[in-house]
Structure 1
Amino acid sequence: MGVLREYQMQAARFALDSFVRNGGAGLFLDMGLGKTLTSIAIMDIWHAEHPDGRFLVVAPALVAKNSWPDELERFKSVHSLDWAVAVGTPRQRLAAVNENRTVTIIGQDNLAWLDKTVACWPWAGIVVDELSGYRNPKSNRFKVLKARRADRASHPSGRRRTSNGELPIDWLLGLTGTPATKNLLDLWAQMMLVDGGRTLGRSMERFKGEYFRESRWIKNPYGVSQCIEWEPLDGAQARIMDRIGADCLSMRAADKLPGLPDLLTVDHWIDMPAETRAKYDEIRRAMVLEVSGREDVTAANAGVLTGKLSQLTAGCVYPDSDDSDRTVMHVDDAKMDELERIMSEADGPVLVFYRFKDELERMAKRFPGMREVHEDGVLAEWNAGRVPLLAAHPMAAKYGLNIQHGGHEIVWLSLPWSLEDYDQANARLHRSGQSHPVRVHRICESGTVDSRILSVLERRANLHDAVMGALRGEE
């Protein structure tokens, strides 16, 4: 495919060679480096050599519905693949599967349906877009792909379907720009899918035992101590990176796209209004006192506390689950005021990320021209510069949206805890095709949980950079 850039050809060659040697490959490429186009080239080359081969692409729902078919259509003059998109109702999905096209595209949310519906999978290769979404080995989507990778007629429970003997998948290609944003433990399940356990073993518990030590415990409701955190042993990170290096290729956008405009971060620290501060301190003291003397402190306890405090920094308080009054309490508009100020000085349209529905509702009332990212036709209008304020939740907008032509100003009303959500969301504008430096405005309230979220994002970014750097051979 002549449209590929040199680094994309390098990635394609790496993957095809790894398929032959190891039966799988991981392309850990920064956002904006063209993982979709590279994967189309890989399938096209493989199909030319194996004409009977068919492929399954599994992607986040929006990406499966929009990005993959759009890219296949856009570059159809330079590849020989035909495709069907298995989205919509079960009947529509089944009709697409039964078309027996060279490439079948399906959302990862429909993997369980596909597993129940198709007894023996006909696909020789599987492309897993956003591999990091499979880092939890207890998730059903992981179990489905793990079983089907080993035997196209297998079920996660171990039950065999109709098959003339074990028929493994020829290869699996895993795509992600964020393989380990939280913990090195995230790598095990992803590599299990990529290489079937060849590098990091077939047991998560053995992987933990070889590379990690227990570092934090809690008591469960039955009074039994349970480990909830592990830390890597000395030298473990280097050994893990060395093990997976033969199957995984890492690339950084800054290296491969030297002309990519800068990503500039501007933190807007504001003071929490006095009345909100009093309520914030009251809730924090009450909830800390509630859990501080208990032995059954869990992540759920901490989640409730930080969630409630985050709501207050956003200017609202949601009712507790057992509260008969389901009304959301409006507290203040401090961040909305700052958003309005930023918009007044912004160089063009603004993409705003929010966490709470109350923030979205208040934006809609305050800024009449606001549009939401999921509205029909809104992305074309945004790219044409006709949407002054585009609102998006990071979970809904972090994949598959090429909206870099519509603006270069991002505002975070409330930051997420997830580095993957944060980086992927920012990459909607900071990617190939963007012609201006992208400014990321983060509105934070001093002396609140906002500071904690920023520090967590920074630590996780350090881990991510270390993993990606090790795979590139950097010291």
Structure 2
Amino acid sequence: MKYKPYDYQSYATQWIIDKEKAALFLDMGMGKTSCTLTAISLLLYDYFEVAKVLVIAPLRVAQSTWDEEAAKWDHLKHLKISKVLGTEKERIAALNKRANIYIINRENVKWLVDLYQNKWPFDMVVIDELSSFKSPKAQRFKSLRKVRPLMKRVVGLTGTPAPNGLIDLWSQIYLLDGGERLGKTVTGFRDRYFLPDKRNQHVIFSYKAKDGAEEAIYEKLSDICVSMKAEDYLKLPERINNIISVHLPEKVKEKYKQLERDLLLPLKDTDIIANTAAVLSNKLLQIANGAVYDEDGDVQEIHEEKLKALEDTIEAANGKPVLVFYSYKHDIDRIKKHLKREDLRVLDKPQDISDWNERKILIMLAHPASAGHGLNLQAGGNIIIWFGIPWSLELYSQANARLYRQGQKENVIIHHLVAKGTLDGDVMKVLENKELGQEALLNAVRAKLREIKGEKNNGS
């Protein structure tokens, strides 16, 4: 296929060529991969700037996206790509192949750094979904930090560089410039631009930006980071959000409320912290979906209302393919058992992506964490059903962008199955208001606790 880039794509490609440290903060579906591959090809064969390129990506993206994108365009078909995946033996064999680009999943970054140490062979490194390196405590960041001085060029790609706040930027930018712009340590960065926010005596849970900090940070990064939003550059079909209210029977509602009280009341005199809130909300959202893992890890089924709503929504699609996002493993088992459909597939391997895009699959189940980055699924359909809804705005947005992206020909319909009177409703409000997950989760759980304490004080 002949490559006819948009103006912004040509600009993004040139941005990478012109800068040894570069970040593209492009919205999902804007073609970050094709822009980067075009720049790599030019740097390899026109400018002779680099000889060996490493791409670090989420596993599913590493398995299929980069090589498929290169194979799609005439001007990129000459690139030799080796995927450093699988067993250690398979990974070493892939590294020994002659290629221009070597692709590895981020879970194996430590292994790769340990393998080469000071003999790092890659003069250009592309970090796909740079935001997954946002934690300075993570092993993948610490490992890559060691070999950063051995890289001539580094490119970071993401649509959401600061999913949980500006503090997330430090480690990402450090991998680009070695601390030149935001400082050598995250502590120094934090002290310079932030103030303690939520705290419990000496324990600080979160920070808030000082006045003017956001502008100052972005000014520091403006020479190496370019940010573009899809709505400014692309004409996409309409996106239609639809909430399908799932009404629970009275007995189920009573059971849900009782379980909610049982989980929350023991915490009535304590300050809810992030980990506790996550565990509680996880239980409540499982119940809203219709089942919950008990203390022994067994599945206890509570209701089938969401399953019935899912079946009705699939039927209303009139034979069109639907992409269903689930939250828990028991969701898969229960959906399969309830639907009894032979045309149902769980997204698990690259072949599933190909079959979906060739419209060989009518119902595909996917977890937003595994389908959330880089996968091109827009050719396979235009209908999404959220069976279980995540707190994470980043996960939610990335997952929707598998269909709502450049190349989509039809209006995208996104159905949300929301169990009325459950935590589902709170999650939807958070996503609609584009709030950040952790703080919103804490506030929602605290509100539920206040509500339950009020009920108890009123004698109910």
1:134–1:189 contact (8 Å) kept in structure 2 = yes
> Which aligned pairs between 1:91-102 and structure 2 lie closer than 5 A?
91-102=89-100
Partner SS, residue 84 of structure 1: strand
1:263–1:440 contact (8 Å) kept in structure 2 = yes
Q: What TM-score, normalized by structure 2, do the two folds share?
A: 0.89
**Cα separation, 2, equivalents of 1:121 and 1:134:** 20
1:112 aligns with 2:114: no
> Which aligned pairs between 1:60-79 and structure 2 lie closer than 5 A?
60-75=58-73, 77-78=75-76
1:66–1:400 contact (8 Å) kept in structure 2 = no
Correspondence for 1:393 among 367, 370, 386: 367
Correspondence for 2:38 among 27, 38, 41: 41
1:272–1:313 contact (8 Å) kept in structure 2 = no
2:8–2:233 contact (8 Å) kept in structure 1 = yes
**Cα separation, 2, equivalents of 1:305 and 1:299:** 10
**One-letter code aligned to 1:356:** Y
1:7 to 1:440, Cα distance in 2 relative to 1, 3 A: same
**Cα separation, 2, equivalents of 1:450 and 1:62:** 28
Q: By how many angstroms is 1:344 displaced?
A: 2.0
Can you give the 5+ residue segments of structure 1 that lack an aligned partner in the other structure? 151-167, 220-224, 464-475
CA RMSD in angstroms comes to: 2.0
2:291–2:301 contact (8 Å) kept in structure 1 = yes
**Cα separation, 2, equivalents of 1:294 and 1:255:** 46
Q: What TM-score, normalized by structure 1, do the two folds share?
A: 0.86
Give the corresponding residue for 1:286.
Answer: 262
1:83–1:104 contact (8 Å) kept in structure 2 = yes
1:31 to 1:352, Cα distance in 2 relative to 1, 3 A: same
Give the corresponding residue for 1:228.
Answer: 205
Correspondence for 1:316 among 253, 274, 291: 291
**Cα separation, 2, equivalents of 1:89 and 1:327:** 32
1:182–1:460 contact (8 Å) kept in structure 2 = no
Correspondence for 2:157 among 163, 175, 183: 175
Number of residue pairs aligned between Structure 1 and Structure 2? 431
Partner SS, residue 185 of structure 1: helix
Give the corresponding residue for 2:183.
Answer: 201
Give the corresponding residue for 1:139.
Answer: 138
**One-letter code aligned to 2:175:** L
**Cα separation, 2, equivalents of 1:52 and 1:126:** 10
1:276–1:312 contact (8 Å) kept in structure 2 = no
**Cα separation, 2, equivalents of 1:252 and 1:237:** 18
> Which aligned pairs between 1:27-426 and structure 2 lie closer than 5 A?
27-47=24-44, 48-50=46-48, 53-75=51-73, 77-78=75-76, 80-119=78-117, 120-150=119-149, 168-218=150-200, 225-258=202-235, 260-294=236-270, 297-320=272-295, 323=296, 326-346=297-317, 348-367=320-339, 368=341, 369-374=343-348, 377-426=351-400
User: After alignment, is 246-255 or 278-287 more displaced?
Assistant: 278-287
Q: By how many angstroms is 1:359 displaced?
A: 1.4
Give the corresponding residue for 2:454.
Answer: none
1:218–1:298 contact (8 Å) kept in structure 2 = no
**Cα separation, 2, equivalents of 1:375 and 1:148:** 31
Deviations 1:432-463 (A, max 9, x none): 22110001111112232112222333454689
2:43–2:50 contact (8 Å) kept in structure 1 = no
Can you give the 5+ residue segments of structure 2 that lack an aligned partner in the other structure? 438-460
**One-letter code aligned to 2:313:** I
Deviations 1:157-210 (A, max 9, x none): xxxxxxxxxxx3112100001112221111111111122222211111111112
User: After alignment, is 352-361 or 442-451 more displaced?
Assistant: 442-451
1:412–1:440 contact (8 Å) kept in structure 2 = yes
1:309 to 1:113, Cα distance in 2 relative to 1, 3 A: same
Give the corresponding residue for 2:407.
Answer: 433
**Cα separation, 2, equivalents of 1:245 and 1:272:** 51
**One-letter code aligned to 2:7:** E
2:393–2:436 contact (8 Å) kept in structure 1 = no
Greater helix fraction, Structure 1 or Structure 2: 2
**One-letter code aligned to 1:70:** E
2:128–2:157 contact (8 Å) kept in structure 1 = yes
2:71–2:77 contact (8 Å) kept in structure 1 = no
Partner SS, residue 404 of structure 2: coil
**Cα separation, 2, equivalents of 1:4 and 1:248:** 20
**Cα separation, 1, equivalents of 2:159 and 2:27:** 4
